[in-house]
Structure 1
């Protein structure tokens, strides 16, 4: 199985300030102080920071593209400067592609602050939240909405707490395998089209399409409503993708791993996942094999590798 092609990846070019205000304005208690005509500006960086040394005039290495938050410390420092000096320092900060300024604690905003931001076309928001609470509420949302995302043709299930992503050609049996796993008490996440997003450097989360819900297509039957048939406990909204199970038709000319020492790798959004290839022949019990794959992964998390231990016994 080849890695997901780069053109299948959406790097989420950003979210407009207007959309941020619409979705999170009430939760963040945001009010627009200036720049209502600049709300089309885009936030593309999930990181949020305070200007820090930038207000002291040192802007080398200043982060670009971040919402800048002015709390009690920043506003108190600016108050120690003359309006002219404070305005120049603020101007230096605003040169770093800043989408918006947020003043916390409901603090008073000096006239020069609003004027300088307006001259740069940068909106100013104010919230009554303290700085720590504002960070806590906005960062998870930005990390979610701006996370690199791709779509994968496959089926995703939670098996013993391990996220198994079944991949393979259309009609190979991915949906049927997941349906059988659900019948055995495991949990269904997504079928056919799996949205995968990266959180941090090495965590992939998979979910289904909102319109599809917890429906899956079984050839010869049609659509099956997993939640209605097996109950909500048989479903999950999302799950970390931990192992790729590649289903393929048996090929007499192919060489398949028989020791477990040469497990493959599947790369999705720059994250390497273990890949187990299962060649299909009539009568093979994919459900039990899938459970074994999940349990093997749990052993790997505990630092145990049955294949390596067996090899050591043979070599002794």
Structure 2
């Protein structure tokens, strides 16, 4: 294809040659530099290598959260509860992941699974039909990974929030939170709290550091 920028008229000679060569002619009012940048960004995204990961990708408070865990741990059920709480589904079961730029990784659903979620004992449901267009998104940046794991007595779990870990998706490190799952725990509410805490840390508010500073001051005062 040939794109003529800045709204310039397309010469008749160019139209004639394009017809002979079966070439598409396009016209844009955008300046050349801006058009070139937009085309480059578009092609980088569309031609990026895709990898597939297993999980549920949600938009929670504007944060892209990939929920992962072993089969049967309750990822889809948690996703459904989050949808009922007003958050948006991006992809269930299979998430196609690709690198948008050096610092950004994106996720989107496989076309055959778009807007669908599978629930054991119920089957496949169409989230868009049941909850409306506001309950789904076509793609999302992956900002945070949440890994659901079965609670095992005797295992050590992070209780202060200072055991920060990351997981690599398409060459981009993404912060990860591991949440032990046991009967009676409201996992969707815990994930919401994890997301709000993640946003607070990005804004410079770290409850763990605040607690550690208070503890240090208390020890110093009593010593």
- After TM superposition, is the score higher than 0.5? yes
Which structure 2 residue ranges, 5 or more long, are not aligned?
14-22, 218-223
Shift of residue 106, structure 1, vs aligned partner: 5.6
**2:92 maps to which residue?**
191
Shift of residue 192, structure 1, vs aligned partner: 0.2
Matches of 1:253 and 1:264 in 2, distance apart?
21
Shift of residue 253, structure 1, vs aligned partner: 3.6
Matches of 1:262 and 1:128 in 2, distance apart?
54
Matches of 1:150 and 1:173 in 2, distance apart?
23
Give the TM-score of the pair, scaled to structure 2.
0.83
**1:66 maps to which residue?**
none
Give the TM-score of the pair, scaled to structure 1.
0.60
**1:204 maps to which residue?**
105
Q: Quick check: 1:250 aligned with 2:183? A: no
Point out the more displaced range, 302-311 or 135-144.
135-144
Q: Quick check: 1:262 aligned with 2:163? A: yes
> Secondary structure of the equivalent of 1:288?
helix
Point out the more displaced range, 218-227 or 133-142.
133-142
> Secondary structure of the equivalent of 1:175?
helix
Whether the 8 Å contact between 1:163 and 1:240 is mirrored in structure 2 is yes
Which structure 1 residue ranges, 5 or more long, are not aligned?
1-20, 30-70, 72-103, 110-123
Matches of 1:127 and 1:234 in 2, distance apart?
36
Q: Quick check: 1:150 aligned with 2:63? A: no
Q: Quick check: 1:291 aligned with 2:192? A: yes
Question: RMSD of the TM alignment (CA)?
Answer: 2.4
- Pair 310,179 (structure 1): closer, same or farther in 2 beyond 3 Å: same
Matches of 2:76 and 2:42 in 1, distance apart?
32
Task: Give 1:88-167 correspondences, 5 Å limit.
Answer: 131-132=32-33, 134-167=35-68
Deviations 1:132-185 (A, max 9, x none): 354144213211112232111000111111111001111111000010000011
Larger radius of gyration: 1
